[in-house]
A and B are shown apart, each in its own frame.
Chain A
């Protein structure tokens, strides 16, 4: 099955700096890679995702890059703000037209702290 490794487990940055979180996956069949943000005591919320047919996707201050050959993908947050402080999870899965077996495999999470 799929295995997702996420680094670092904790990350502390100054407000305004950039933050980068990296994930690797093992299953070459995986083709969908979402990133979730989880605030304390709440459920995860999708912040950005990327499919294997593109190498980069950007949404305002957040971007995700994907290297299929190396089987790794990264989350980039620019101009960080204190409200970006949360736990971030990467995940991977294989979605096909048949729709069977959609199961997200998650990394262990990164606690991001943005210091004012």
Chain B
């Protein structure tokens, strides 16, 4: 089945540690996105990539890093520089070039203690 997979579903890390969240899609989508969701805040864009080996900062990129070495993979690293990393992280993908629908993964809940 085609889809977008995030792993793990739950992640716990100690403060000061970097952590990488996985996102893989087999939909052959060009574009991939990372959003952060906090209660009452909606979804805020962290980074997005429209093509392999290229990505752009979203609205809240500070303290995060990404890579796009393969079309199907877009991992997100939450670094120790992110001041408030505990949140629900959502990855999405879409076709590029004028087609609208974005498909979301099931999310990773990161808790930093």
Contacts and interface: CB of A to CB of B under 8 A. Distances in A.
A108 interface: yes
Grouping DSSP codes into helix (H, G, I), strand (E, B) and loop, the B interface class, with mixed when no group exceeds half, is strand
A28 interface: no
B1 interface: no
B14 interface: no
Contacts, number: 67
A100 B35 CA distance: 19
Interface in B66-113: 90, 92, 94, 96-107
Interface residues of A, number: 30
Main SS of the interface on chain A? Answer: loop
Contacts of B96: 99, 102
A45 interface: yes
Contacts of B48: 103
A61 interface: no
